[in-house]
Structure 1
């Protein structure tokens, strides 16, 4: 049985300055081999559970416009701090940002 992690626990995680690891080069290689960065021109990617935006940022380097969604508003705020030009969008109950 898996444990349920509450929104409050995620907020505390991000408020404490914690996050997740960056996208590793082997993961980038696998993504590019199976999806291909050239396929991204004019496409939008949805990153559900985007955390502080590490994978979403990688997707923008492949040419995608990205819509990131996370239950923790603190994660979105941290993503927007370092992701220049991205904007936060208010949606009731969830935190969202986009790269376009």
Structure 2
């Protein structure tokens, strides 16, 4: 049994990485609502907007090359989550992270 089928059968979550609308369509046909846009910094916020147009219920996690300078643009474009990796090791960015949280002052 392919890994995705085994995960779905067991009720385990799956977050496929996508970078094309074809990959998004494949994930949606399998009943997946969440996808990981990778590498988000190369795809750009406009990719999020464009891919969500034909897939309005799609929930996107943007990851890969994001930091506090560009994360808000991905959220504004429709990403539901941004994943910050190496940015979390930068004390200057870490102090400003709270500004990305909903309901918090920016």
- TM exceeds 0.5? no
With the length of structure 1 as denominator, give the TM-score of the two structures.
0.39
- Structure possessing the higher relative contact order (Cα contacts under 8 Å, 6 or more residues apart): 1
With the length of structure 2 as denominator, give the TM-score of the two structures.
0.38
Which structure's CA Rg is the greater one? 2
The structure where helix makes up a greater share of residues is 2
